[in-house]
């Protein structure tokens, strides 16, 4: 555990801090100006200091008890602390983005006009310093009215427990009302109590910690039952050791359970990606019999559309993804229709010829984006609401982007199913795919339906590309890395069966992720491929074979 | 009739290959550019092609070399390793280039190596690599492991206090070698074997969920943990995205990467990466007059003020300048003469210090460690005192610590000090 | 069963005008190229550089691969999108032999272990490397490895009546899985770098022009022999059964032919040709690595066949040579835009030349025939 850069000033610091926390900052005394100037001069030292000196300055600042210290430190942590080049004056900026920057006076925290970005110099931080800052800021955040902020503060403090922190936590425990925060503080105090000289206090602490699933807690408990190199136990008391052993086992059991759930989720999320990249193909390949080697490139177009949409609306990253979905559908869909009208329609009934022609198209599409967007990868920003993870407890967190992709896949799948089953065009598509001549005789414009079907499949590939842009590189090779997987899913599920693709994709994902921890990523994938090859021997037409003669002897 | 058509076609084909080496008057000096412009490596290599073209352009504006204009011969080996060998042969045997700038991946270099050695060509290789090689016909202007990996690990150990190590790499020769060297180095420094975890994933790996979860678990054992990443190319973006989403911040588990530079970062949203580290011999953010001039020259040439510069570009820049100086010194573009002139030739780096060609055909380089900033640039947090000479054969590998490379006195790239034998290229 | 393979092969070749023209060209290449390289002085405009020799050698190897694909696709209706796997396996077997020949001349000077093994801390040679320092064993493996894989894979697949696109896709899965496996450094096949820096073959220096010329002549001969063998097969009664399977598989089965055995034998034979092509490819190109297994390569091979003309054998070879020549030329002459040209060519051929170039020539001839 890394401690705060400590000096001999801890008690004084605590006192000041307690005062600050207790008394709202209203008292403006005559000594204010004196403390202001010393605060400013300490702050000024940051301009020239090395990273290790900066940590010392931060500690001195935090002890100053100045009313604006928290705002200054938060700004420093968020890279918003600058000094003006011509007069060396230090300012907080409202936001580090844009030009000119809006300045805030570090003493009064009032607006101080604005200045062009190049007339200011940022006071930099590094990892170590940010860590110090975060813990220091956490001390102040304990008094925040927002329970979530307090919770985060306690969690930050747990990462580096020392006497001062424990004392602060103990004080907070008395006044804390929120149960989650309370529980977290209790964990912290119990962790500290593990070092208590009183056996009962240690036993109580273990009892409290037993219900935790945090890895840190487990590690701390495991220390108790470790043997030191000379053969003696670090913990002398037998009962405490037994209790600790017991607690570690309980925690391990729960952690294993949660990690199994996590693996399952990993599998489902990988499976969703597989389903998403395969659904479009299930339509073009499965329903129309076109082996569309350009399917991957249609996904790539969708990903590039996301990039283009984001570039067009730089201020609205959050919504841009939502705008990109229909945009990508249209771009890829129209490309698909164009392909169908100019090339594919001459090749119906000759699936292998479509393979060759669409392979040619895929080369052309790749080179086109390379010419337009260059061979470099393009940066697609992940919106705020899609980054980070949903923390269910200390052992289980689900990343938002994967969660949304699982949900997104379900929505896309249901929509397609609905289009095919409930709409007029869906009826036409099914009619044409089942019996073209009869459909034509019934007055369906088969040509039009063909184009629409291919456009639909291609459009969905574009939508999948939007999802992929959140997971991987947006570059000219994006398509190639997914095309084989998508074919595998469709064949595994059964050509022409959407449900097959869904179940096929999900199960391939789950099996892959279940194997990966033991076999490693490559062997897991090889195993899935071999299993697929063997499976096709048993069921040559996939999980859900198409009924009748439709799939035969093509 | 039919037969004649057939014969005609075949004859034309053969003739097309055979006749094309008709020698044209040598009014120019031909410079080969052997970088992939399509396929998986195009993302990295096109930039280097443009860099060489920019350097040639600038040299020609200065009046060329030895009174002749430089003429670039650009070919596309399409990220296809056998095609690299074929194109190398084309450049050397058909186009008769005086020098070639090219290759990125180790396998592409290994593929062209026999060709360059057989035809006695001259290749400038501008990318950091695993070492364990020194060819008479290659000048390595990128970093050897001792110019990048070892200083980075030293930094983490001493300045950050890292006690537990994850060596995460793509499964190919550069990560394998680097990790072997690092493992030996860490063990020698007293790190317990249980505190080192080595793992490899395939090229273009994108499903990082389980691996990142495993790293998180390994890192939560109570000791300060760092990840040393030799993950290559496309696999990086999903890796960092997953790190960000699983809330592994640089403050908890910093990742130091050897293959992630400004250009890779320009292709992704750098905010979740802030604080993660990279070790290079060049950073665009280092302010020197030479670097500023280079960046401006690049922006003008590529007609895009947003394009970044990176380490392999600087290595290309250094290589080109070294070659020009050596040619001027030798007053000839003949490979033997240029090679003789090259060793000892010096040219300034863009970020300060002097790059000097050593007898082992590697160069001296400064080492920098930078933390990623939100704008995709690096904040230099450590730099080496002076430059570090490139070491072709690592001192930390049992097989190669006795091996020396010296093309001046020993005339050998693979000389065993113990057995006093020369093997490899000059083996008799 | 075996009797079927013989038939009136000689008679077939007489009627096979395209084929005999092709063989004539091959003989011409095998004679002219060595002369132009060895006898004609380098200053002459007619001289063929060693680089040219390598290129022609490569085209011929690809031609053999295309021939193998055409035999099963053009005549038996089996579209394999995994033939690069057999090609690469043959190549790897040859590569292993060439690696063993390096002996103590490697970077680390180990007399037995290839460099990459020294480097990956192998203490001894893995069992599957035993014996490959003998040329005869290596040659056996060149034939056996692809044949075995094809036999096992084909036996399962054909017996289960996996056909059409399903078959194509699982062959793709097969070569993809192999590619991933060979990329692993732990497999003992050199990982991503594969094998390179070969020194000599049967004690002949691989870098010398003479060796290269000889290799080229051998490749031309192998291609000619494979062609004649394939021609013999398709002209025999077995060939007619193959075509029957291609056109109406179920009907052929009902008539009583053992469709599965036919398919299996042709598939294995085709795999062997591909394997030999790979084995000839490696010493001439000088490197073999896992990206040869890339499914895209298999698709490209199919495209060569389509461009040349499916179901003509010599057309497939012509397609392979033409497409690869175009690739060589375009990657050098128009490095930035060559993919457009190649892509457009594939689209053009499928749309307007459904029978490939040979089909065009034949149609042209028929047209002329009518006129006369």
Query: Quick one: pLDDT at residue A279?
Result: 92
Smallest Cβ–Cβ distance between A357 and the set C248, C250, C347 belongs to: C347
Query: Quick one: pLDDT at residue C143?
Result: 97
- Whether B28 is in a domain gets the answer no
Smallest Cβ–Cβ distance between B269 and the set A131, A379, A388 belongs to: A379
**For chain B, how far is it from start to end, CA to CA, in angstroms?**
55
Prediction ipTM score: 0.88
Residue A427 has pLDDT above 50, yes or no: yes
Contacts of C47 in chain B (CB under 8 A): 18, 21
Q: Which of the residues C70, C76, C85, C165 would you substitute to probe the A interface, choosing the one with the greatest number of A C-beta atoms within 10 Å?
A: C165
The answer to whether the CB of B135 falls within 8 A of the CB of B164 is no
Smallest Cβ–Cβ distance between C343 and the set A347, A360, A537 belongs to: A360
- Phi, psi for C151 (deg, rounded to 5): -65, -50
Q: Which of residues 10-29 of B touch C (CB under 8 A)?
A: 10, 13-14, 16-19, 21-23
- Per-residue pLDDT tens over the stretch C174-229: 999 999 999 998 889 988 889 988 988 998 998 888 999 999 999 999 999 999 99
- Whether B167 is in a domain gets the answer yes
Query: Quick one: pLDDT at residue A230?
Result: 73
Residue in this structure with the two tokens 């290994």, named with its chain if needed: B110
CA–CA gap between residue C181 and residue C178 (Å, rounded): 5
Smallest Cβ–Cβ distance between B210 and the set A124, A127, A266 belongs to: A266
CA–CA gap between residue A493 and residue A501 (Å, rounded): 5
Residue in this structure with the two tokens 């970093």, named with its chain if needed: B143
C211–chain B Cβ distance below 8 A for any pair: no
Whether residue B2 and residue C321 make contact (CB cut-off 8 A), yes or no, is no
Q: Which of the residues B6, B401, B415 would you substitute to probe the C interface, choosing the one with the greatest number of C C-beta atoms within 10 Å?
A: B6
Q: Six-digit token pair at B217?
A: 């678990």
Smallest Cβ–Cβ distance between B251 and the set A130, A220, A474 belongs to: A130
Among all residues of chain C, which has the CA nearest to that of A348?
C351
- Whether B233 is in a domain gets the answer yes
Q: Which of the residues B1, B10, B53 would you substitute to probe the C interface, choosing the one with the greatest number of C C-beta atoms within 10 Å?
A: B10
- Residue of B287 and A7 predicted with greater confidence: B287
Residue A20 has pLDDT above 70, yes or no: no
Exposed / middle / buried, residue B287 (Cβ in 10 Å: 0-12, 13-18, 19+):
exposed
CA–CA gap between residue A276 and residue A268 (Å, rounded): 12
Q: Tell me if residue C211 falls in helix, strand or coil.
A: helix
Residue A3 has pLDDT above 60, yes or no: no
A540–chain C Cβ distance below 8 A for any pair: yes
Query: Quick one: pLDDT at residue A550?
Result: 46
The string over B20-34, giving b where at least 16 C-beta atoms fall within 10 Å of a residue's C-beta and e elsewhere, is: bbeeeeeebbbbbbb
B402–chain C Cβ distance below 8 A for any pair: no
Closest CA to C242 of C42, C66, C45, C70: C70
Kindly give the interhelix angle for C83-102 and C135-159, rounded to the nearest 10 degrees: 160
- Per-residue pLDDT tens over the stretch C339-350: 899 899 889 988
Residue C103 has pLDDT above 50, yes or no: yes
Reported confidence tier of residue C15, pLDDT bands at 50, 70, 90: low
- In terms of phi and psi (left: phi > 0; alpha: psi -120 to 50; beta: otherwise), the region of A36 is alpha
- Per-residue pLDDT tens over the stretch C210-219: 999 999 999 9
Residue B19 has pLDDT above 70, yes or no: no
Query: Quick one: pLDDT at residue B10?
Result: 52
Query: Quick one: pLDDT at residue B21?
Result: 43
When mean pLDDT is compared across A165-179, A422-436, B72-86, B226-240, the lowest value belongs to A165-179
Residue C372 has pLDDT above 70, yes or no: no
When mean pLDDT is compared across A83-97, A227-241, B102-116, C92-106, the lowest value belongs to A227-241
B38–chain A Cβ distance below 8 A for any pair: yes
Q: Average pLDDT in the B46-54 region?
A: 95
Task: Note the Cα B302 to chain centre separation in Å.
Answer: 21
Q: Which of the residues C25, C104, C208, C338 would you substitute to probe the B interface, choosing the one with the greatest number of B C-beta atoms within 10 Å?
A: C25
Partner residues linked to B363 by β-bridges: B357
Smallest Cβ–Cβ distance between C331 and the set B16, B76, B423 belongs to: B76
- Considering its fold, how many domains does chain B have in total? 1
Q: Which of residues 124-143 of A touch B (CB under 8 A)?
A: 124, 126-128, 130-131, 134
Residue B349 has pLDDT above 80, yes or no: yes
Length reported for chain B: 428
Reported confidence tier of residue B237, pLDDT bands at 50, 70, 90: confident
- Residue of B335 and A170 predicted with greater confidence: B335
Can you give the CATH number for the domain in which B236 is found?
Answer: 3.40.50.2300
Domain ranges of chain A: 10-22+32-132, 142-236, 259-502
- Phi, psi for A466 (deg, rounded to 5): -60, -45
Q: Average pLDDT in the C47-65 region?
A: 92
- Phi, psi for B369 (deg, rounded to 5): -120, 130
Query: Quick one: pLDDT at residue B2?
Result: 47
- Per-residue pLDDT tens over the stretch A260-277: 999 999 999 999 999 999
Residue in this structure with the two tokens 């479509």, named with its chain if needed: A354
Range of the domain at C158: 2-371
Q: Tell me if residue B232 falls in helix, strand or coil.
A: coil
Q: Average pLDDT in the C144-153 region?
A: 96
In angstroms, the Cα distances linking A429 to A295, A335, A408, A423, A501 are: 19, 19, 24, 10, 18
Reported confidence tier of residue B276, pLDDT bands at 50, 70, 90: very high
The Cα of C32 is separated from the nearest Cα of chain A by a number of Å equal to 35
Q: Which residues contact C309 (CB under 8 A, 6 or more apart)?
A: C315, C316, C318, C319, C355, C356, C357, C358, C359
Q: Average pLDDT in the A310-338 region?
A: 93
The Cα of B238 is separated from the nearest Cα of chain A by a number of Å equal to 5
Partner residues linked to B68 by β-bridges: B65
In angstroms, the Cα distances linking A130 to A51, A76, A137, A229, A389 are: 10, 9, 10, 36, 21
CA–CA gap between residue A166 and residue A68 (Å, rounded): 24
C99–chain B Cβ distance below 8 A for any pair: no
Q: Six-digit token pair at A92?
A: 């907080």
Please give the torsion angle defined by the CA atoms of residues A83, A89, A93 and A98, in that order, rounded to the nearest 10 degrees: -60
**Which spans in C160-294 are helix H?**
164-183, 209-235, 237-247, 249-255, 259-285
Whether residue A513 and residue B210 make contact (CB cut-off 8 A), yes or no, is yes
Smallest Cβ–Cβ distance between A378 and the set B38, B201, B267 belongs to: B267
Smallest Cβ–Cβ distance between C339 and the set A293, A367, A542 belongs to: A367
When mean pLDDT is compared across A70-79, A91-100, B391-400, the lowest value belongs to A91-100
Residue A229 has pLDDT above 60, yes or no: yes
Quote the Cα angle for B399-B405-B410, to 5°: 125
In angstroms, the Cα distances linking A315 to A322, A381, C29 are: 14, 12, 65
Whether residue A370 and residue B42 make contact (CB cut-off 8 A), yes or no, is yes
Q: How many CB pairs under 8 A join A and C?
A: 127
Residue A86 has pLDDT above 90, yes or no: no
The Cα of A237 is separated from the nearest Cα of chain B by a number of Å equal to 23
Range of the domain at B201: 149-257
Whether residue C351 and residue A346 make contact (CB cut-off 8 A), yes or no, is yes
Residue C355 has pLDDT above 60, yes or no: yes
Reported confidence tier of residue A216, pLDDT bands at 50, 70, 90: confident
Kindly give the interhelix angle for C295-308 and C314-333, rounded to the nearest 10 degrees: 110
Q: Which of the residues C19, C331, C338, C358 would you substitute to probe the B interface, choosing the one with the greatest number of B C-beta atoms within 10 Å?
A: C331
Chains touching A by CB (3 or more pairs below 8 Å): B, C
The answer to whether the CB of C210 falls within 8 A of the CB of C50 is no
Across chain B, mean pLDDT equals 89
Find which of B55-59, C30-34, C164-168, C361-365 is predicted with most confidence, using mean pLDDT: B55-59
Residue C260 has pLDDT above 90, yes or no: yes
CA–CA gap between residue B124 and residue A346 (Å, rounded): 50
- Phi, psi for C300 (deg, rounded to 5): -60, -40
The Cα of B348 is separated from the nearest Cα of chain C by a number of Å equal to 33
Helix and strand totals (H; E) in chain B: 12, 19
Quick one: DSSP state of residue C248? -
CA–CA gap between residue B12 and residue A447 (Å, rounded): 44
Helix and strand totals (H; E) in chain C: 15, 4
Query: Quick one: pLDDT at residue A547?
Result: 59
Query: Quick one: pLDDT at residue C14?
Result: 53
The answer to whether the CB of B107 falls within 8 A of the CB of B176 is no
Reported confidence tier of residue A74, pLDDT bands at 50, 70, 90: confident
Q: Six-digit token pair at B213?
A: 């979860």
Whether residue B416 and residue C20 make contact (CB cut-off 8 A), yes or no, is no
Contacts of B38 in chain C (CB under 8 A): 338-339
């Amino acid at each position: 555990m890394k401690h705060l850069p400590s000096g001999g000033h801890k008690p004084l610091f605590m006192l000041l801090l307690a005062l600050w926390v207790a008394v709202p900052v209203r008292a403006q005394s005559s000594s204010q100006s004196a403390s202001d100037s010393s605060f400013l001069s300490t702050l000024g030292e940051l301009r020239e200091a090395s990273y290790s000196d900066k940590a010392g300055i931060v500690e001195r600042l935090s002890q100053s008890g100045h009313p604006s210290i928290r705002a200054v430190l938060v700004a420093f942590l968020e890279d918003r602390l600058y000094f003006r080049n011509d007069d060396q004056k230090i300012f907080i900026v409202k936001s580090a983005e844009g030009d000119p920057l809006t300045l805030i006076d570090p003493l009064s925290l009032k607006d101080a006009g604005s200045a062009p970005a190049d007339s200011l110099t940022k006071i930099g931080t590094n990892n170590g310093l940010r860590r110090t800052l975060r813990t220091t800021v956490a001390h102040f955040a304990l008094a925040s009215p927002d329970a979530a902020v307090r919770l985060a503060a306690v969690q930050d403090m747990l990462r580096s427990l020392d006497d001062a922190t424990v004392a602060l936590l103990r004080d907070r425990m008395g006044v804390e009302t929120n149960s989650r925060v309370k529980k977290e503080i209790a964990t912290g105090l119990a962790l500290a109590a593990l070092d208590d000289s009183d056996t009962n206090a240690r036993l109580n602490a273990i009892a409290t910690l037993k219900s935790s699933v945090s890895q840190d807690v487990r590690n701390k408990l495991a220390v108790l039952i470790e043997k030191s190199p000379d053969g003696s136990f670090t913990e002398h008391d037998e009962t405490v050791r037994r209790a600790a052993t017991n607690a570690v086992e309980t925690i391990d059991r729960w952690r294993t359970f949660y990690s199994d759930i996590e693996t399952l989720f990993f599998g489902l999320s990988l499976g969703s990606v597989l389903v998403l990249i395969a659904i479009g193909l299930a339509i073009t390949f499965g329903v129309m019999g076109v082996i569309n080697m350009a399917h991957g490139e249609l996904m790539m177009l969708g990903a590039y559309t996301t990039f283009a949409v984001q570039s067009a609306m730089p201020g609205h990253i959050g919504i841009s993804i939502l705008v990109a979905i229909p945009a990508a559908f249209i771009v890829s869909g129209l490309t698909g229709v164009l392909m169908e009208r100019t090339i594919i329609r001459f090749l119906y009934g000759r699936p292998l010829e479509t393979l060759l022609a669409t392979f040619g198209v895929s080369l052309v599409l790749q080179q086109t984006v390379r010419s337009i967007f260059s061979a470099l990868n393009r940066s697609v920003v992940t919106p705020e609401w899609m980054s980070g993870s949903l923390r269910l407890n200390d052992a289980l967190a689900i990343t938002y982007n994967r969660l949304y992709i699982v949900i997104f896949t379900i929505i896309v799948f249901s929509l397609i199913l609905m289009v095919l089953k409930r709409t007029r065009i869906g009826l036409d598509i099914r009619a044409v795919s089942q019996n073209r001549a009869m459909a034509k005789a019934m007055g369906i414009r088969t040509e039009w339906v063909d184009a629409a079907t291919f456009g639909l499949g291609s459009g969905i590939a574009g939508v999948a590309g939007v999802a992929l842009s959140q997971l991987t590189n947006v570059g000219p090779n994006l398509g190639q890395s997914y095309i084989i997987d998508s074919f595998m899913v469709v064949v595994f599920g059964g050509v022409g069966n959407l449900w097959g693709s869904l179940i096929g994709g999900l199960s391939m994902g789950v099996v892959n992720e279940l194997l990966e921890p033991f076999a490693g990523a490559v062997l897991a994938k090889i195993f899935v491929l071999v299993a697929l090859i063997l499976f096709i021997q048993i069921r040559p037409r996939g999980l859900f074979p198409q009924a009748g003669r439709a799939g035969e002897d093509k | 009739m039919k037969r004649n058509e057939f014969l005609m076609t075949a004859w034309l084909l053969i003739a097309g290959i055979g006749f094309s080496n008709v020698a044209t008057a040598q009014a120019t000096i031909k410079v080969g550019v052997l970088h992939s412009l399509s396929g998986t490596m195009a993302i990295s290599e096109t930039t280097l092609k443009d860099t060489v073209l920019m350097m040639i352009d600038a040299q020609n504006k200065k009046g060329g070399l030895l009174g002749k204009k430089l003429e670039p011969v650009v070919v596309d080996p399409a990220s296809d390793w056998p095609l690299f060998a074929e194109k190398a042969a084309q450049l050397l045997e058909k186009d008769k280039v005086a020098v070639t700038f090219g290759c990125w991946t180790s396998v592409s270099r290994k593929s062209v190596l026999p060709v360059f050695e057989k035809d006695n060509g001259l290749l400038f290789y501008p990318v950091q690599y695993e070492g364990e090689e020194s060819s008479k016909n290659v000048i390595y202007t990128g970093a050897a492991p001792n110019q990048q990996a070892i200083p980075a690990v030293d930094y983490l150990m001493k300045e950050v206090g890292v006690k537990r190590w994850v060596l995460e790499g793509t499964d190919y020769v550069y990560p394998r070698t680097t990790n072997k060297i690092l493992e030996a180095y860490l063990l020698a420094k007293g790190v317990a074997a249980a505190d080192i975890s080595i793992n490899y994933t395939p090229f273009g790996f994108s499903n990082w969920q389980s691996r990142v979860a495993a790293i998180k678990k390994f890192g939560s054992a109570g000791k300060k943990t760092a990840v040393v990443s030799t993950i290559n190319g496309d696999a990086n973006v999903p890796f960092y995205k997953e790190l960000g989403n699983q809330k592994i911040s640089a403050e908890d588990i910093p990742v130091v990467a050897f293959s992630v530079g400004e250009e890779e970062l320009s292709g992704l949203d750098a905010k979740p990466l802030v604080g993660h580290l990279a070790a290079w011999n060049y950073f665009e953010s280092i302010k020197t007059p030479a670097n500023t001039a280079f960046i401006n020259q690049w922006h003008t040439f590529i007609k895009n003020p947003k394009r970044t510069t990176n380490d392999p570009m600087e290595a290309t820049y250094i290589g080109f300048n070294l070659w020009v100086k050596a040619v001027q010194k030798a007053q000839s573009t003949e490979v033997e003469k240029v090679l003789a002139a090259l060793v000892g030739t010096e040219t300034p780096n863009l970020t300060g210090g002097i790059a000097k060609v050593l007898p082992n055909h590697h160069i001296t380089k400064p080492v920098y460690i930078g933390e990623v900033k939100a704008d995709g640039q690096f904040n230099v947090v450590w730099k080496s005192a002076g430059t570090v000479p490139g070491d072709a054969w690592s001192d930390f590998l049992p097989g190669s610590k006795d091996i020396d490379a010296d093309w001046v006195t020993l005339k050998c790239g693979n000389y065993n000090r113990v057995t006093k034998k020369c093997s490899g290229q000059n083996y008799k | 069963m075996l009797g079927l393979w013989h038939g009136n092969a000689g008679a077939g070749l007489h009627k096979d005008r395209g084929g005999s023209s092709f063989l004539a060209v091959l003989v011409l290449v095998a004679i002219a190229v060595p002369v132009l390289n060895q006898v004609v002085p380098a200053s002459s405009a007619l001289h063929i550089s060693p680089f040219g020799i390598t290129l022609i050698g490569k085209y011929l190897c690809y031609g053999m691969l295309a021939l193998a694909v055409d035999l099963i696709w053009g005549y038996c209706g089996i579209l394999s999108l995994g033939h690069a796997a057999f090609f690469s396996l043959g190549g790897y077997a040859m590569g292993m032999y060439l690696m063993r020949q390096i002996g103590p001349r490697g970077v680390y000077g180990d007399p037995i272990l290839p460099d990459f093994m020294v480097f990956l801390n192998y203490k001894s040679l893995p069992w599957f490397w035993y014996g490959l320092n003998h040329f005869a064993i290596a040659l056996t493996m060149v034939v056996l490895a692809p044949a075995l894989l094809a036999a096992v894979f084909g036996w399962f697949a054909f017996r289960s009546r996996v056909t059409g696109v399903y078959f194509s896709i699982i062959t793709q899965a097969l070569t993809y899985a192999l590619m991933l496996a060979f990329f692993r450094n732990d497999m003992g096949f050199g990982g991503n770098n594969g094998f390179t820096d070969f020194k000599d073959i049967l004690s002949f220096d691989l870098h010398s022009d003479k060796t290269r010329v000889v290799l080229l002549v051998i490749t031309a001969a192998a291609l000619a022999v494979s062609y004649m063998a394939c021609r013999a097969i398709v002209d025999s009664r077995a060939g007619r059964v193959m075509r029957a399977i291609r056109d109406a598989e179920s009907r052929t089965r009902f008539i009583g032919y053992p469709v599965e055995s036919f398919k299996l034998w042709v598939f294995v034979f085709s795999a062997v040709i591909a394997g030999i092509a790979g084995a000839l490819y490696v010493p001439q190109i000088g490197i073999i690595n896992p990206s040869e297994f890339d499914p895209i390569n298999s698709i490209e091979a199919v495209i060569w066949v389509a461009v040349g003309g499916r179901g003509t054998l010599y057309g497939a070879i012509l397609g392979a040579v033409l497409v690869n020549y175009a690739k060589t030329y375009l990657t050098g002459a128009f490095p930035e835009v060559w993919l457009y040209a190649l892509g457009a060519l594939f689209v053009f051929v499928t749309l307007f030349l459904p029978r490939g170039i040979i089909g065009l020539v034949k149609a042209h001839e028929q047209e002329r025939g009518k006129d006369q």
